[in-house]
Amino acid sequence: MLKKEIKITHFVLLLSLINFIFFHYPFYVFVFNNLNYNSISGVFVIISLIILMIILNAFVFYLFFNLSKYFGKFILILFFILNALAVYFVNTYSVIIDKSMIGNVFNTNYEESSSYFSFKLILYLLFLGVLPSIYVTKAKIIKVTFKKFMITSSLTLLFVLLLVFANASNWLWIDKNSKQLGGLAMPWSYTVNTISYFNSKHKKNKKEILLPNATIKDNKKSIFVLVIGESARSENFSLYGYKKETNPLLSKTSNLHHFNATSCTTYTTGSLKCILEHQDTGDLYEILPNYLHRNDVEVIWKSTNWGEPPLHIKNFKNKSALKESCKGEICDYDGILLEGLKEQIELSTNNKILVVLHTSTSHGPTYNKKYPPQFEVFKPVCKSVELSNCSQEELINAYDNTIVYTDYLLHQVIENLKALPSYESAMFFVSDHGESLGEKNLYMHGLPMSIAPKEQYEIPFIVWMSNPSKQLKPSSNLTQHHVFHSVLRFLSVESPIYNEEMNIFMK
């Protein structure tokens, strides 16, 4: 077949059919799960979607090849390679390739992305990406005249329009599920959403909008430590009623409180913005650390994670910077965030201090590598990045061990603060989002909030205070937006944008 010439129309139809067979199983699983395929209307929608998928992809490929044979081959090879990668993650982790997921891709660092590497991924790339690409490279394509191109294009578009209008009665269902359908259609899920992601970035304020100036009302020495968790879901904290003892230290800590809470999103960048902004807005307003730093509060930020909005502070250290002055096993885990922290606070000449510790403790898929060996309390554990290959017990054990390590880290933060009696101190632990651990065959996080299960957005919100007489407002459910205003209140920062309703401390 490679030695023979092939007409361009036959070639693009063949490639579109291969694209359909190789990469659209998740698409049609979603369709069958959300449509009554026993009805005539349902059957008609399914058949129409199959025909549209094949014809429209073939038509776009047809346009590419008529622009240039070499351009067409390059684009198709790129599509097959990227399709193979995309469908691997869709099949393995049940993700949907929407704009937020594209944001996660472009904000993922090398260390995190390398944790997804597996033999299965190589097989996907070889059989679904490389092999079709070899055929595309070697194919001898017969192009058509401009007149025939115009006739074929016109008839194709007419057919598509007729099929679309024939489904007029089903537009409501298609519109309702458009985000999920679009996120599973290859290669347009990542193509359209990549364009949308960068378009959104371009439209965002190039410079953050400054908040009104604030004033510090007293000279009392105060420290607030905000620990931002990663992928920690409240369901697996024994503080929240989990049957396994994952909080052996915090459960014995006095002046500790925990609240039910929900995250704004199911991905890190969106939730970080939510935690650090003064209200829910699509604009880039001055975030908490920048605002406090500009208004004479000392801000210390240490991170083993990523995804922070732009920070304009002096004391920022990421994982690589922290490792430069670290020795021993602790350097490979989130315990590195606590190294030298107490001493750094003692050297401060400022009465008001905000410390932000951005952890990565419960981020998958390599849960078993997120804690030191002595914290492997629950066994056996999942050691594969292909989470569906592990038993439910192994997967949950590995994840629960990350919660045990989180318990230890928070306990150490509290002990450090207790060792600074000249300061009144408080600690918040708020996770960026939750995590799916195989429930409903879903793994990790990142699903759109409209369809995300509770495991991906029900998060812990844990509060500790050094002053036992300080009271908290009763609350049944908090959000990440409570952080900004509670920090202002605790540090006695007076601001025109302060919202008493979003503060959890009593007057």
Q: Can you give 217-258 as a three-state secondary structure string?
A: CCCCCEEEEEEEECCCCHHHCHHHCCCCCCCCCHHHCCCEEE
CA-angle at 274, arms to 309 and 295, nearest 5° = 65
Locus of tokens 């509670």: 486
pTM given for the model: 0.75
CA distances (Å), origin 220, targets 216, 223, 481: 10, 10, 25
CB–CB of 174/168 below 8 Å?
no
Give how far Cα 481 sits from Cα of 262, 274, 284, Å: 10, 6, 15
Asked if 465 and 196 count as a contact pair (C-beta separation under 8 A), the reply is: no
Which candidate, 194, 181, 187, 191, places its Cα nearest to that of 26? 181
Inter-residue contact 254 to 298 (CB < 8 Å): no
Q: Cite the residue boundaries of each domain of the chain with CATH code 3.40.720.10.
A: 223-502
- Can you read off the two tokens belonging to residue 101? 């997921």
Between CA 408 and CA 370 the distance in angstroms is: 13
Tokens at 151, concatenated = 């006739």
Is the bond into 132 cis (omega within 30 degrees of 0)?
Answer: no
pLDDT values of the chain reduced to their tens digit, one per residue, 507 residues:
455 788 888 999 999 999 889 988 888 888 887 777 777 877 888 888 888 888 988 998 889 888 888 898 999 999 999 989 888 888 888 777 876 777 777 766 656 666 667 788 889 889 998 999 999 998 888 888 888 888 988 998 898 888 877 776 666 577 667 777 788 888 888 888 788 777 766 655 557 889 999 999 999 999 999 999 999 999 999 999 999 999 999 999 999 999 999 999 998 988 999 999 999 887 888 999 999 999 999 999 999 998 888 899 999 998 888 988 888 888 899 999 999 899 999 999 999 999 999 999 999 888 999 999 999 999 999 998 778 788 999 999 999 999 999 999 999 999 999 999 999 999 999 999 999 998 988 888 888 888 889 999 999 999 999 999 899 998 878 999 999 999 999 999 999 999 999 999 987
Contact by Cβ (8 Å): 498, 489: yes
pLDDT value, residue 1: 47
Domain 223-502: give its CATH code.
3.40.720.10
Cβ–Cβ under 8 Å, residues 228 and 275: yes
Alpha-carbon distance of 284 to 328, in angstroms, equals 39
> In the numeric block, which tokens belong to residue 23?
């990469």
- Measured between alpha carbons, how far is 443 from 12 in angstroms, rounded to an integer? 35
Tokens 């991906």 label which residue? 456
Distance CA 98, CA 103 (A): 9
What is the pLDDT at residue 113? 61
Spatial CA neighbour of 240 closest among 263, 219, 214, 258: 258
